[in-house]
Structure 1
Amino acid sequence: MQRTDFSKMACSIARTLDVIGEPWSPLILRDVWVGMSRFEQLQADLGISRKVLTERLNHLVDHGVLERRPYDNRPRYEYVLTPKGSELVDLLMVMVGWGDKHLAGEAGPPVLYRHHACGEISSVELSCANCGKPMHANDVDVLAGPGSAV
């Protein structure tokens, strides 16, 4: 079955989904972010088939989200986040906040995050890049931008 190509749509959400919109990619990014950089580590943690993991890793490398680096004389590689990939992890951290709030249940969140700057356990909050105030869906108007299809 042919997958829909979202990359040509005049929508940043669609274009982002073209890169990480299937379920394995965000989980691979999460694992690389927390230090699992080798194919075998990723496969063991995710329980993903070698074929699917290879396809996903190649896709993420092709989109500049991960970088493949050789780590021994055989053709073996480790995967590291690029700056573009690190920015995608920011998106995943926002997803974590939603999941912790709505899906963690009585046990609470499975992972906590300590902020380097203040040393406190915290969560990601969206704020306006201009004024610093909270910025949520009901706080904005959606306007056509320069790349709009309209």
Structure 2
Amino acid sequence: MARTAPHAEGMSWTDPACPVARTLDLVGDRWSLLIIRDAMDGARAFTDFQHRTGIARNILTDRLRRLVERGLLDRQTAPTGRRQNYVLTEAGRDLFTVIVAARQWGERHAFAPDETHSVLVDESGLPLPELRPTDAHGRPVDVDTTSVLHDR
């Protein structure tokens, strides 16, 4: 299935040939990723995002605008017709693996072993297994067994 790029017309890329840099240019600040996280967890209205993150209204307004402009959220009129709701686009939903990877990294490196934290569970209530990249044959890979091909 062909994927469409988020709306990025007029973007000034930090490193135009690097997919990591482009991703961070689109969603690399903490507020944007927390908004995406909360949208994945059911937040829809401006007040939902504000209450969950504690973000200042002006910053939230700016980040929601950017996420809509960049094609990661869609703005829709709420059923009441009185406010706007924000819903993930396909590109926004595709950040799920990024959010899970960040969560799991945080579980390993940002908490003491006995410190409590929230847990992401599957439909049966079990925690998700640790994400691990694999090669084309399903074998685990890491920083020592991969390399970047430039100018592709």
TM-score per shorter chain, which class? 0.7 to 0.9
Deviations 1:67-117 (CA, angstroms, capped at 9, x unpaired): 11110222x11111111111112111111111100111133451222234x
1:121 partner amino acid: P
Which is worse superposed, 23-32 or 7-16?
A: 7-16
TM-score (norm: length of structure 1): 0.82
Q: Does 1:49 align with 2:56?
A: yes
Does the C-alpha gap of structure 1 residues 68 and 129 become closer, same or farther in structure 2, counting only changes over 3 Å?
farther
Q: Does 1:63 align with 2:70?
A: yes
Q: Residues 126 and 134 of structure 1 are in contact (CA less than 8 Å); yes or no, is this contact kept in structure 2?
A: yes
State the partner residue of 1:27.
34
Q: Does 1:11 align with 2:18?
A: yes
2:32 partner amino acid: S
| 1: CA distance, partners of 2:116 / 2:32 | 21
Q: CA deviation at 1:8?
A: 6.2
Q: CA deviation at 1:138?
A: 1.7
Higher strand share: 1
Which is worse superposed, 102-111 or 37-46?
A: 102-111
5+ residue gaps, structure 2, are 1-10
State the partner residue of 2:145.
139
| 1: CA distance, partners of 2:73 / 2:116 | 27
RMSD (CA atoms) = 2.1
The 5 A counterparts of 1:71-150 are 71=78, 72-74=80-82, 76-108=83-115, 110-116=117-123, 120-128=126-134, 130-146=136-152
